[in-house]
A and B are shown apart, each in its own frame.
Chain A
Amino acid sequence: MLSIKNLKANIEDKEILKGLNLEINPGEVHAIMGPNGSGKSTLASVLAGRDEYDVTGGEVVFKGEDILELSPEDRARKGIFLAFQYPIEIPGVSNANFMKTAVNEVRKSKGLAPLDSKEFLKLMREKMQLVQVDKTMTQRSVNEGFSGGEKKRNEIFQMAMLEPELGILDETDSGLDIDALRIVSDGVNALRDGKRSFIVITHYQRLLDYIVPDFVHVLYKGRIVKSGTKELALELEEKGYDWIKEEVEI
């Protein structure tokens, strides 16, 4: 469903992604690990279509279509969801109102009628349970005054509401305590239905105990330099990245 070929991207003329390749089939979970500055978050931003990044080469084909020319909102409507590492606050806009706007935009792009208030509330109640979001959280302004854990839960809640085909989790585990990590992971696992795919970007093997990946990739200096199964994550946890760096340098 997602095919990335030789992707190159710059930020402010500095090349971050230097020819990245990745193939993801429906239902698969791919973990992306790697040392700081290797380009993990850049990959997430480029896939989502963030403006600051210039794609200088390669292609990204999602469901048979090259998406690099599409606006961020069109990519979102086609089913790409990014759970932000640092979710953004929007004062004065309630979470529920924000989600209603988003859900109906996505529906509109698919030629579906907008949900009315009753239908929307029903959908929201159902999805709230997934990540233990309570009613007050939906009535508060988007992410405003949320704790770190609440923000991350809110990202997964939004993902559940929008039902994307590809979920990208950008260091969703950062800043979470064990309990919050479990809640968030349970939410993600509940969304694994054999068709929906995930890219899980993380620094820590710990998250992958909860969200068990089909594949683990190591990103280093803008390329995927090693791929394996979940055992690779354990090996990295044990040995660090130096041995991989050495392999690459040779």
Chain B
Amino acid sequence: MSEDLKIIDEVTGSDYKWGFVSNIEADTAPKGLNEDTIRFISAKKNEPQWMLDYRLKAFNQWKKMEEPSWAHVNYPKIDFQDIIYYSAPKPKKTLNSLDELDPEVKATFDKLGISLEEQKRLSGVAVDAVIDSVSVKTTFRDELAKLGIIFCSFSEAVREHPELVKKYMGSVVPYTDNFYAALNSAVFSDGSFCYIPKGVRCPMELSTYFRINSAGTGQFERTLIIADEGAYTSYLEGCTAPQRDENQLHAAVVEIYAHKDAQVKYSTVQNWYPGDKNGKGGVYNFVTKRGLCAGERAKISWTQVETGSAITWKYPSVILKGDHSIGEFYSVAVTNNMQQADTGTKMIHIGKNTSSTIISKGISGGKSNNSYRGLVRIGKNALNARNFSQCDSLLLGDRCGAHTFPYIECSNPTAKVEHEATTSKVGEDQIFYCNQRGISTEDAVGLIVNGYCKEVFNQLPMEFAVEAQKLLAVSLEGSVG
């Protein structure tokens, strides 16, 4: 192994920087999953009967389903009876201002560098902070309410806006969709709900920070975003989790429903605990994210920067049902040490003149495995559908793997589908060139990798792009960040 490779190894083999545990009194369900667990969760959340019925239907469906095994990942079998399905910080009372936030919770955010005040003041971002499973704090609610925008926790939406939840929940990702979607539908804890009314352009980036906290807690987030005709919103989701020895299961569902002429931009920065150098611990991230362009000219864009989790299994997808609708997927997935990622997207073209773009950048270091898996399906009525896919893989060192599994199914002869793929290595020449200009190997790798991801970072909102770059630097450079 040359000197550069050794350095890359040291750099990429570094430990998770944000591993710490905060001590918040949790209110937890007993381990295991049965109807009683579901009733416990539903009762805890003061849910109406219809919500409980939905959960129970999903649970019955889940029992009949099998855990999928087709992804290019390896992990020991999950014991679903050994998981705590509900854990909430004890609610003191409803919070009116940030000052009332649990000091421990606040300190946790501060450690992560997420200062709510600062975000409020500097960037005008409305933050719906989720610690474990319950929405702790929602800001800018009033301001949004004036425009008719609803932005609240999912449980609140169930109570306050049952007609919307009933109408849209499961309309994009039904509980019958897959094993983890069914599980989520049965036990989901909380998440965010967002509704943008007709013709309204949401004036700020909506943002949620997720954080897994109690040991051995499965977290089952549920997010639903509805953009009515001609509405626009940009939604940010960012995650970090503290260090744990046991594997933590995370199976979220995100649904986006875009009506005619609506636009939704959904950006994620995910930095869950990836496990240590030897692959011990880490989060299993099995997520179902899907958007439906229901009406004409609707547009949904997914942008994701994935650096964390021991295992990532995630395919943010777009169903292009409305004519002239547009789907986009921009992704950076970084795997390091023993991490495994099987991620990509699905673009399902149903309407006429629909178009989709896929830009995927995979970066693998250590002994990790990084797979792109994507499906482009052109239905038989999807006249003049158009897709462009570009899948690039970058290897750091010589013990990691990069794989690409593109699936293309085309049932309409007028469609145009393009696929480009490249694989490259961070060259010793590039590193030496940087070194010769006074830049250390660690910084050089960060610089080169950030350059490589530029197309995707350009899609992120400004403040998020900066965070993503930092995160990438941290993931690849240990404590340097």
Interface residues of A (CB under 8 A from B): 48-52, 71-73, 76-77, 81-82, 84, 87-93, 97-99, 101-102, 105-106, 109, 141, 158, 162
SS class, residues of chain B in contact with chain A: helix
Q: Which B286-320 residues sit within 8 Å CB-CB of chain A?
A: none
Residues of A with C-beta under 8 A to B427? 88
Asked if B113 CB lies within 8 Å of chain A CBs, one says no
A90 to B430, Cβ gap below 8 A?
yes
- Taking a contact as CB atoms closer than 8 A, the residue among B428, B438, B441 that contacts A109 in the complex is B438
With A101-B443, A105-B440 as known contacts, state yes or no: A93 contacts B451, CB within 8 Å.
Answer: yes
- Evaluate contact between A101 and B447: CB separation under 8 angstroms: yes
Query: CB < 8 Å: which of A77, A92, A98, A99 contacts B454?
Result: A92
Residues of B within 8 A of A (CB): 2-4, 427-430, 432-441, 443, 447-448, 450-455
A-B contact pairs, 7 of them (CB 8 A): A48-B436, A72-B435, A73-B438, A73-B440, A88-B433, A91-B451, A93-B451
Partner of A51, one of B3, B437, B454: B3
Measured in the bound complex, the distance between the Cα atoms of B441 and A90 in whole Å is 14
Given contacts A72-B435, A82-B436, contact A88 B2 (CB under 8 A): no
Q: Which listed residue (B438, B451, B454) contacts A162, Cβ 8 A?
A: B438
Task: Give which listed residue, B2, B428, B435, B450, contacts A92 with CB less than 8 A.
Answer: B450
A201–B447 Cα distance when bound, in Å, is 30
Q: Name the residue of chain A whose CB is nearest to the CB of B441.
A: A73
Are B437's CB and A98's CB within 8 A?
yes
Taking the closest CB of chain B, its distance from the CB of A142, in whole angstroms, is 8
19 further A-B contacts with Cβ under 8 Å, apart from A88-B427, A99-B437, are A49-B435, A50-B432, A51-B4, A72-B436, A73-B438, A76-B435, A76-B437, A84-B436, A87-B433, A88-B432, A92-B450, A93-B447, A93-B448, A93-B450, A93-B454, A97-B447, A101-B447, A105-B438, A105-B439
**B450 partner residues in chain A, CB cutoff 8 A:** 92-93
- Which chain B residue lies CB-closest to A71? B435
Cβ distance B377 to chain A, nearest Cβ, rounded Å: 31
Query: Is B436 in contact with A92, judged by CB distance below 8 angstroms?
Result: no
Residues of chain B with a CB closer than 8 A to A71's CB = 435
Point out the residues of chain B lying under 8 angstroms from A77, CB to CB. 438
In the assembled complex, how far is the CB of residue A45 from the closest CB belonging to chain B, in whole angstroms? 9
Distance, CA A87 to CA B434, complexed state (A): 11
- Tell me the nearest residue of chain A to B458, going by C-beta: A92
Q: How far, in whole Å, are A98 and B17 apart by their CA atoms in the complex?
A: 26
User: Which chain A residue has the least Cβ–Cβ distance from B451?
Assistant: A92
- The 7 A-B pairs of least Cβ separation, nearest first, read A92-B451, A93-B451, A72-B435, A92-B454, A102-B437, A88-B433, A76-B438
- Give the residue of B4, B439, B448, B454 whose beta carbon is less than 8 angstroms from that of A102: B439
Distance, CA A92 to CA B451, complexed state (A): 4
A41 CA to B421 CA, complexed, in Å? 36
Q: Which residue of B lies closest to A72 (CB)?
A: B435
Task: State whether A91 touches B437 (Cβ < 8 A).
Answer: no
